[in-house]
Amino acid sequence: MEKRSKPQILNWLVIAAMAAITISFWRNGTGEGAFVELSPVEFHRALGEGRVVEPLRRIVNNDEGTTRLEGALAVAQEDGGAGKAAEGGRSKQTVRFRVNLVPGENAKLMDALAEAGVKTLVRNETSAISPFLANLLFFAAFMALFWWLTGRRMGGGPGGLFGMGKSRAKLLNGKEEKPSCTFGDVAGIDEAKEEVQEIVEFLKRPESFRKLGGRIPKGVLLVGPPGTGKTLLAKAIAGEARVPFFAMSGSDFEEMFVGVGSSRMRDMFAEAKKRAPCIVFIDEIDSIGMRRGGAGSLTGSHSYEQTLNTMLVEMDGFDANEGVIVIAATNRPDTLDPALLRPGRFDRQVNVELPTLKGREEILALHGKKIKFAPDADIKRTARGTPGFSGADLANLLNEAALMAVKKKLDGVDMATLDEARDKILWGRERKSAGYSAKDRETTAWHEAGHALLQLELEHTDPLHKVTIIPRGRALGATMSLPEMDVLGRNKSYFLDQMCVCCGGRIAEKMFTGEISTGAAQDIAQATEIARSMVCTYAMGGGFGFQSFSAPAAFPGFDAPPAFSEETARKIDAEVSRLVNEAYSRAEKIIEANREGLEKLAKTLVEKETMDGREVEELLGKKRGAGNAEA
């Protein structure tokens, strides 16, 4: 794109001309309210009283034969008029005055000024502008500037003032520049890469598609959780095809002025058509593609709707848009307008999901090329221990591990540092400096021992990874578990066991200290949420059958009414209470049956502070699910 276009230069020229006209009118005395008009008689009186402050400015118009005097007049501060003399002792101030003299009085006045010893500065005028005409021209100039600021040049025309309506898309010219990203730089999302491969083929050889009557999708919507590589995939498509690539965020279309977003959208597509075939990438498209008639309309904000309407027309309107492929990314596809998702606009949705075990290994290997590892570092083990991590999370993990290795003055990133970096990302940084009493340490040890014991005893829980009484994040302690493999779905037994694990901390505290603390607040919330999801979302509660009672989707800031009656709500609450109470009772029985092992684990935690899952198993002499799970 050009650094400074002709419309932008014209904008600045118009502003400079308007400013020059305004200053010129002001300096020529068009501000009538700035002067006090005196008659010749009043001026002679003030001159005789010595209240005229010299020097005066005498403006002579030789064409009309008139003379005008302008100057300052001393008055008492409490007197507002020009006809009263300032009395002694009063503070004085000056006001500006003006006297218009007819030709017959001019000679007399000049003699009076000479006699009083008042000097004058003479300025000749040949063509004075009448006050009415001057004000009229000033008003016309002001209206022209106002139109320029708020009229069609602001939002509707190309560019707009200061380029406000100009597209802010970043252009990477793939034919001239070396591609910064290719498919080789994208790992862990093989299925998504395969889906967009044909777009690259079309951009490279469009004639082969047209020969057979095929039509490439006009738009591709990349959908997936944050950090999964949607933006990276779009860059790789442009890098592989070696075509111009326009990149813009959805929020870049919006400004405080209505119409700017529409102007930027039109300008971006106009630039893209000039460079077709090319790619237009819009990140976070949900900021401008939100469903119309929703929260924005309710609050009176229609700016994004105008931008969306413009985009709909540009993608599939009356004008042909051949060779421009729009790629957009979002993690909120449910909020997008249906007109945006129909065939002819975003024809295809590509799901960019969280990486599997194999994908995590590939991502760690790709980012690990820049990392120096110690001999004991095992990327595959790290991949197994990071289920649910996105590509951005894995890159951050390696970076955190590298920073920790530097602080430890290690020669390379070892396995212990990798595990520590993962735990920091998942559960927060250890706060070893947080001082708390011996009683608090003991209570925390009982609490975490209760969780850890149930994690081992119950059959359908995830393997115990680590238990610690060192504060992490906002928690005083933590019991950590990690799944053995990628989990695509959970069954009812898992949720029932997970509720039992949540109850274990409170039960152990009460059983061995005789008191209950606030440490179980998060456990209570988690157990309640699991039970409510079982009843309302997964139809795993009793007495409701195959029904869902999830709350309908609502726009931010607006609470949607429940989709069921008050009687049903009472039944849901009763079922949630039953599930939680049964889990609590079941957990009590298991802990009571393993009281001796719980005491041993709690005392060991007070001494060691942190124990690995395998250490806990060796201490208690049992494996996960091998105990009294059905008690």
DSSP 259-317: THHHHHHHHHHHHHHHT-SEEEEEESGGGTSBPTTSHHHHTT--HHHHHHHHHHHHHSS
Residue 302 has a pLDDT of 52
Most trustworthy range by pLDDT among 60-64, 165-169, 243-247: 243-247
Residue 9 has a pLDDT of 62
**In the predicted model, what is the mean pLDDT of the chain?**
78
Q: How confident is the model at residue 628 (pLDDT cuts 50, 70, 90)?
A: very low
Residues whose CB falls within 8 Å of the CB of residue 592, separated by 6 or more in sequence, listed in order:
511
Residues 94-128: tens digit of each pLDDT: 777 777 776 666 667 777 777 776 766 665 555 44
User: Is the pLDDT higher at 303 or at 152?
Assistant: 303
CATH 3.30.720.210 fits 29-128, yes or no: yes
For residues 360 and 366, give the distance between their C-alpha atoms in angstroms, rounded to a whole number.
Answer: 10
The residue among 484, 485, 566, 583 whose CA lies nearest residue 530 is 583
Residues whose CB falls within 8 Å of the CB of residue 226, separated by 6 or more in sequence, listed in order:
331, 390, 392
Q: Where are the domains of the chain?
A: 6-26+134-150, 29-128, 166-351, 357-426, 438-620
Residues whose CB falls within 8 Å of the CB of residue 575, separated by 6 or more in sequence, listed in order:
531, 535, 541, 542, 543, 544
Active site residue 177: no
Residues 213-225: tens digit of each pLDDT: 777 778 889 999 9
Q: Which residues of 150-166 are buried (b: 16+ CB within 10 A; e: fewer)?
A: eeebbbebebbbebbbb
For residues 317 and 454, give the distance between their C-alpha atoms in angstroms, rounded to a whole number.
Answer: 62
Residue 598 has a pLDDT of 93
Give the 3-state secondary structure of residue 355: coil
Least confident of 44-48, 408-412, 535-539: 44-48
Residue 247 near residue 143 (C-beta atoms within 8 A):
no
Mean local confidence (pLDDT), 241-252: 80
User: Is the pLDDT higher at 313 or at 180?
Assistant: 313
Tokens at residue 609, please?
A: 């502070």
Residues whose CB falls within 8 Å of the CB of residue 225, separated by 6 or more in sequence, listed in order:
331, 353, 354, 390
The residue among 230, 234, 254 whose CA lies nearest residue 330 is 230
Q: What is the number of other CB atoms lying within 10 angstroms of the CB of residue 533? A: 15
Give the 3-state secondary structure of residue 72: strand
Question: Side chain identity at 97, as an amino acid letter?
Answer: F
Q: Superfamily assignment of 166-351 in CATH?
A: P-loop containing nucleotide triphosphate hydrolases (3.40.50.300)
Percent of the chain with pLDDT over 90: 23
Tokens at residue 48, please?
A: 């005789």
Residue 600 near residue 429 (C-beta atoms within 8 A):
no
Residue 81 has a pLDDT of 45
Least confident of 59-63, 201-205, 465-469, 612-616: 59-63
Q: How confident is the model at residue 83 (pLDDT cuts 50, 70, 90)?
A: very low
Return the H-helix or E-strand segment holding 172: strand 170-172
Give the 3-state secondary structure of residue 330: strand
The residue among 130, 385, 122, 156 whose CA lies nearest residue 259 is 156
With a cut of 90, say whether residue 332 has pLDDT above it. Answer: no
Residues 142-152: tens digit of each pLDDT: 676 666 655 54
SS3 annotation, 363-375: HHHHHHHHCCECC
The catalytic position among 361, 400, 430, 448 is 448
Residues 580-626: tens digit of each pLDDT: 999 999 999 999 999 999 999 999 999 988 898 889 999 988 776 55
Residues whose CB falls within 8 Å of the CB of residue 286, separated by 6 or more in sequence, listed in order:
250, 330, 331, 332, 333, 335, 336
Mean local confidence (pLDDT), 544-557: 71
Tell me which architecture the domain covering 357-426 has in CATH. Orthogonal Bundle (1.10)
Fold designation for 438-620: Methane Monooxygenase Hydroxylase; Chain G, domain 1 (1.20.58)
Residue 613 has a pLDDT of 87
For residues 169 and 172, give the distance between their C-alpha atoms in angstroms, rounded to a whole number.
Answer: 10
The residue among 421, 425, 424, 401 whose CA lies nearest residue 413 is 401
Q: What's CA 147's distance to the chain center, in Å?
A: 33
For helices 260-274 and 303-315, give the axis angle rounded to 10 degrees: 20
Residue 293 near residue 325 (C-beta atoms within 8 A):
no
Percent of the chain with pLDDT over 70: 72
pTM: 0.66
Residue 495 has a pLDDT of 95
Mean local confidence (pLDDT), 524-546: 92
